[in-house]
């Protein structure tokens, strides 16, 4: 790939989802799904622009924009051939930059900023290669994949050679899985039916709509009030029955012992997992909860706010996680997510990605499809989250058929947003926001 990066732009894009309580949970009451939206331009004459996002809940999205601007200078002027010929090395150069790393390292705003930048660089690579990213990755040799990854701090859990072995053993059967993927897609579950701020009537209506659309796996929010959780779980089980799967998500609400206690009246609803029962940094706490819930056959899921591959490693090493929830915008883009997929394969744990928000479904579908084709090589016990909001703003929105993600076909990472949406939802001066502010519906 020839050419040089000439420009990186970042925009603060926000959607007023709080107006209808979409996205609400026990810790994040009123949220405005937002994207720090990155575009990367080059000096080639092909009009191709790499588009990437990183995700936030509204306030603070401007901080993400600033953090991405802080790495702009490290990217502008770089030759594409130099970046992509050893992408793992370039990833390390950016995430370990001697001054910026003090703000992380590899965690929080700076790491999410790196995710936004690398997501745009991945989109650019896919578009230049003329392939959707799942396919670009799937067509790489095991060695090329391994070279995308920074193995520092995880070699006690997985070596490069072990990663090569995992990728190599799956190559011969890859074609069959690709045929399956193109026909059937990758299995999904829905979270859109049971946000915490929805009334009981909305809950029933949304469950019925989802059942009519063929959904078989559902996630509900818990953790604000135990009686409320029991009532809502009853409503949902009444609607979906016990042949379908139900997952529960506490979004970090509890202390460790509180989580174990709180789950006691909920285990009778047979949740497949309890998600984020406690602080995302508490590895031992997750292990304690997982051990206590094992007899009830309730797994522990976590990852959407897991800061990097090191914490994922520890969660896996200590049996603290039963479902690994990678996220496309929290850790350092595809490069770091591949490290997590490889560790999950080594520890024999299913990866069930976190998605939703704005654009998270569009992006993470590529990663889980690559996992199916080249890393785990199975869909057994695997399911990718789906949330039915804001897809209309994307040039290639996700396609769901029979409760499965159908594989994206356009070149790139499906991360490009429509120009009109960007203009309307730019914060605070886009038309949507200036009207809301004028009408007094939003306070700065
Ligand atoms: C604040 C977000 O909507 C969060 O509740 C999403 C989440 O936890 C999930 O989708 O899982
Ligand atoms: Mg969650």
Burial group, residue 392, by CB count within 10 angstroms (0-12, 13-18, 19+): exposed
* CATH code of residue 63: 3.30.390.10
Question: Nearest bound ligand to CA 58?
Answer: 1
Q: What is the pLDDT of residue 267?
A: 98
Determine the distance separating the centroid of ligand 1 and the alpha carbon of 23, expressed in angstroms.
6
In this prediction, residues 375-404 reach a mean pLDDT of 98
User: What gap in Å lies between CA 186 and CA 355, rounded to an integer?
Assistant: 14
Q: Do 121 and 174 have their domain in common? A: no
DSSP state of 362: H
Do the domain assignments include residue 143? no
Cβ 191 under 6 angstroms from ligand 1: yes
Q: Average the pLDDT over 386-393 and give the result.
A: 97
Q: Assess whether pLDDT exceeds 90 at residue 362.
A: yes
CA distance 444 to 436: 11
Q: Determine whether the shortest distance from the Cβ of 304 to ligand 1 is under 6 A.
A: yes
Ligand 1, residue 276: give the atom nearest the CA: 8
Residue 150 in domain = no
Residue 139 lies in a domain: no
Ligand 1 center to 248 CA (angstroms): 11
pLDDT for res 416: 98
**Based on the domain organization, do 183 and 115 belong to the same domain?**
no
3-state class (DSSP) for residue 147:
coil
Q: Which ligand has the shortest distance to the CA of 303?
A: 2
Helix (H) or strand (E) holding 52: strand 50-56
What's residue 212's pLDDT? Answer: 98
Q: Ligand 2 centroid to 86 CA: how many Å?
A: 33
> Which tens digit of pLDDT belongs to each residue from 171-208?
999 999 999 999 999 999 999 999 999 999 999 999 99
**For ligand 1, atom 3, which residue shows the shortest CA distance?**
23
Same domain flag for 427 and 389: no
- The verdict on 275 and 189 lying in the same domain is yes
In a domain, 136, yes or no: no
User: Ligand 1 within 6 A of 251 CB?
Assistant: yes
Which ligand 1 atom sits nearest the alpha carbon of residue 23?
Answer: 3
Ligand 1 center to 127 CA (angstroms) = 30
Structural domain boundaries enclosing 91: 5-131+420-438
Number of structural domains in the chain:
2
- Structural domain includes residue 253: yes
Whether residues 183 and 292 fall in one domain: yes
Write out the H or E segment, with its range, that includes residue 413. Answer: none
pLDDT at 1: 87
pLDDT of 441 reads: 87
Q: Does 192 reside within a domain?
A: yes
Q: Are residues 320 and 430 in the same domain?
A: no
Whole-model pTM above 0.90? yes
Q: Which element (helix H / strand E) includes 53?
A: strand 50-56
392 and 408 co-located in one domain: yes
pLDDT of residue 163: 98
Q: Do 194 and 62 belong to one domain?
A: no
Class of residue 399 by CB neighbours under 10 A (exposed 0-12, middle 13-18, buried 19+) = middle
What pLDDT, on the 0 to 100 scale, is given for residue 243?
A: 98
CA angle at 195 for the pair 220 and 219, rounded to the nearest 5°: 25
Q: What is the average pLDDT across 316-332?
A: 98
pLDDT digits (tens, 9 = 90+) for 423-444: 999 999 999 999 999 999 887 7
Q: Which pLDDT does position 172 carry in this prediction?
A: 96
Question: How far apart (Å, rounded) are the C-alpha atoms in residues 165 and 343?
Answer: 12
Residues 6+ apart with CB under 8 A from 84: 1, 125
On whether both 190 and 114 belong to a single domain, the answer is: no
Task: Evaluate whether ipTM surpasses 0.90.
Answer: yes
Mean pLDDT of the chain: 97
Q: Indicate if 313 and 366 belong to the same structural domain.
A: yes
Closest Cα to atom 2, ligand 1: which residue? 23
Flag whether pLDDT at 54 surpasses 90.
Answer: yes
> Is 153 contained in some domain?
no
User: How far is 25 from 251, CA to CA, in rounded Å?
Assistant: 7
The tokens for 7 are 């420009």
How many whole angstroms separate alpha carbon 405 and alpha carbon 389?
15
Q: Which residues surround ligand 2, an ion (CB under 5 A)?
A: 249, 275
Residue % of the chain over a pLDDT of 90: 98
On whether the CB atoms of residues 259 and 250 are closer than 8 A, the answer is yes
Per-residue pLDDT averaged across 348-355, rounded? 98
Task: State whether 208 and 309 are in the same domain.
Answer: yes
Question: Which residue's CA is minimally distant from atom 8 of ligand 1?
Answer: 251
pLDDT at 95: 98
- List active site positions: 221, 354
Which of 188, 192, 249, 387 has most ligand 1 atoms within 8 Å of CB, for mutation? Answer: 249
Output the domain CATH number for residue 291: 3.20.20.120
User: How confident is the model at residue 50, as a pLDDT?
Assistant: 98
pLDDT at 98 over 90: yes
The answer to whether position 151 is within a domain reads no
Residue 179 and residue 90 share a domain: no
Q: Which atom of ligand 1 is nearest to the CA of 28?
A: 1
From the list 239, 291, 244, 297, the residue with the least C-alpha distance to 268 is 297
Structure tokens at 45: 């004459």
Q: Which residue, judged by its Cα, is nearest atom 4 of ligand 1?
A: 23
Atom of ligand 1 nearest to the CA of 25: 5
Among the bound ligands, the one closest to the CA of 28: 1
């Amino acid at each position: 790939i020839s050419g040089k990066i000439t420009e990186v732009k970042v925009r603060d894009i926000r959607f007023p989802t709080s107006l209808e309580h979409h996205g609400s949970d026990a810790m994040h009451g009123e949220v405005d799904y937002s994207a720090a939206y990155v575009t990367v331009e080059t000096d080639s004459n092909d009009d191709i622009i790499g588009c990437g996002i990183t995700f936030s809940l509204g306030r603070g999205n401007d901080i993400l924009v600033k953090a991405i601007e802080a790495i702009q200078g490290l990217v502008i002027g770089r030759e594409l051939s130099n970046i992509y010929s050893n992408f793992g090395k370039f990833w390390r150069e950016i995430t370990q930059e001697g001054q910026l790393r003090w703000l992380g390292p590899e965690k929080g705003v700076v790491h999410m900023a790196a995710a936004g930048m690398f997501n745009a660089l991945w989109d650019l690579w896919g578009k230049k290669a003329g392939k959707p990213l799942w396919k670009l990755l799937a067509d790489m040799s095991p060695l090329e994949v391994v070279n995308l990854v920074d193995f520092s701090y995880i070699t006690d859990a997985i070596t490069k050679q072990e990663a090569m072995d995992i990728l190599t053993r799956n190559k011969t059967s890859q074609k069959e899985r690709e045929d399956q993927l193109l026909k059937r897609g990758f299995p999904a579950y829905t979270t859109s039916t049971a946000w915490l701020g929805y009334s009981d009537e909305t809950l029933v209506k949304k469950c019925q709509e989802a059942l009519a659309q063929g959904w078989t796996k559902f996630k509900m929010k818990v953790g604000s009030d135990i009686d409320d959780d029991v009532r809502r779980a009853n409503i949902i089980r009444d609607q979906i029955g016990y042949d379908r799967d139900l997952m529960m998500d506490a979004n970090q609400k509890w202390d460790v012992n509180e989580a174990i206690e709180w789950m006691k009246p909920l285990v009778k609803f047979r949740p497949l997992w309890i998600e984020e029962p406690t602080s995302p940094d508490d590895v031992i706490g997750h292990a304690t909860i997982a051990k206590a819930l094992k007899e009830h056959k309730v797994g522990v899921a976590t990852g959407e706010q897991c800061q990097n591959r090191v914490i994922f490693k520890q969660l896996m090493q200590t049996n603290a996680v039963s479902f690994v929830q990678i996220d496309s915008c929290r850790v350092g883009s595809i490069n770091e997510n591949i490290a997590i997929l490889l560790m999950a394969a080594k520890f024999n744990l299913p990866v069930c990605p976190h998605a939703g928000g704005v654009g998270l479904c569009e992006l993470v579908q590529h990663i889980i499809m690559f996992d199916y084709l080249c890393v785990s090589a199975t869909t057994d016990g695997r399911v990718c989250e789906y949330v039915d909001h804001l897809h209309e703003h994307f040039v290639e929105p996700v396609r769901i058929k029979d409760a499965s993600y159908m594989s994206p076909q356009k070149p790139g990472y499906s991360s490009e947003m429509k120009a009109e949406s960007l203009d309307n939802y730019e914060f605070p001066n886009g038309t949507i926001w200036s009207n809301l502010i004028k009408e007094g519906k939003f306070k700065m």
